[in-house]
């Protein structure tokens, strides 16, 4: 069968269930699917934003138009807007999963692990809903979006 893994935060007693976020649970499956990329969001640490950042959607949407000469003014205007946004402070919503695990003791816990932490997870907080919500707001590549599975067995105490 193979060993299954869940992402856990030992300090906050929170976890992300791979099946809840529409993924699969073996280590190679965490590694080879978009679900493994959620750690970039969970572990982000910065009080400011920048282009390509989670809090830089406005800068990622900058319209550069075509390469036609008459658009030079527009292009320069958009570039200046982007530069002006660099380093601006961010104020995430209170329940945001962005940076939520930065600096904490975080692990991918296997169900074969001697700690038996896996068995305790039903009493911990499952933050999969927040992760899917925040990830999909950030990720604009359709194939890399996550799909919340409301029928996951972990949501039924199983
Ligand atoms: Zn689940």
Residue 148 has pLDDT above 80, yes or no: yes
pLDDT for position 66: 56
> How is the chain split into domains, by residue range?
5-45+95-156, 47-89
Ligand 1 centre from 140 Cα, in Å?
24
Give residue-wise pLDDT tens across range 95-140: 899 999 999 999 999 999 999 999 999 999 999 999 999 999 999 8
Range from 65-74, 83-92, 97-106, 129-138 carrying the lowest mean pLDDT: 65-74
Q: Provide CB contacts within 8 A for 141, sequence distance 6+.
A: none
CA angle 151, 42, 11 (to 5 degrees): 90
Q: Which of residues 35 and 69 earns the better pLDDT score?
A: 35
pLDDT value of residue 59? 41
Q: 18 C-alpha vs ligand 1 centroid, how far in Å?
A: 6
CA of 96 to the centre of ligand 1 (A): 19
Distance 153 CA to ligand 1 centre (A): 6
CA distances from 35 to 10, 48, 127 (A): 20, 25, 14
- Mean pLDDT value of segment 3-19: 98
The rounded distance, in Å, linking the Cα atoms of 130 and 10 is 18
What is the spatial distance between Cα 103 and Cα 123, in angstroms, rounded to a whole number? 23
Between the CA of 83 and the centroid of ligand 1 the distance, in Å, is: 41
Three-state secondary structure string covering 66-97 = CCCHHHHHHHHHHHHHHHHHCCCECCCCCCCC
The mean pLDDT of the chain is: 87
DSSP string, 87-132: T-B----TT--TTTTTTS-EEEEETT-TT-HHHHGGGSEE-HHHHH
pLDDT > 60? residue 65: no
pTM: 0.82
Q: In angstroms, rounded to a whole number, what is the distance separating the alpha carbons of residues 42 and 26?
A: 20
Q: Which residue has the tokens 């999969």?
A: 128
């Amino acid at each position: 069968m193979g060993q299954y893994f869940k992402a856990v935060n030992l300090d906050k007693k929170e976890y992300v269930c791979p099946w809840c976020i529409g993924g699969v649970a073996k280590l190679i499956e965490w590694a080879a699917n978009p679900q493994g990329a959620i750690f970039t969001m969970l572990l982000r640490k910065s009080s400011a934003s920048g282009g390509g950042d989670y809090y830089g959607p406005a800068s990622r949407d900058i319209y550069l138009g075509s390469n036609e000469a008459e658009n030079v003014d527009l292009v320069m205007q958009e570039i200046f807007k982007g530069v002006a946004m660099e380093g601006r402070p961010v104020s995430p919503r209170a329940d945001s999963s962005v940076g939520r695990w930065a600096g904490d003791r975080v692990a991918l816990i296997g169900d074969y692990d001697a700690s038996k932490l896996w068995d305790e997870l039903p009493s911990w907080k499952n933050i999969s809903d927040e992760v899917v919500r925040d990830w999909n707001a950030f990720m604009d590549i359709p194939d890399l979006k996550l799909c919340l599975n409301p029928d996951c067995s972990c949501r039924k105490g199983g």
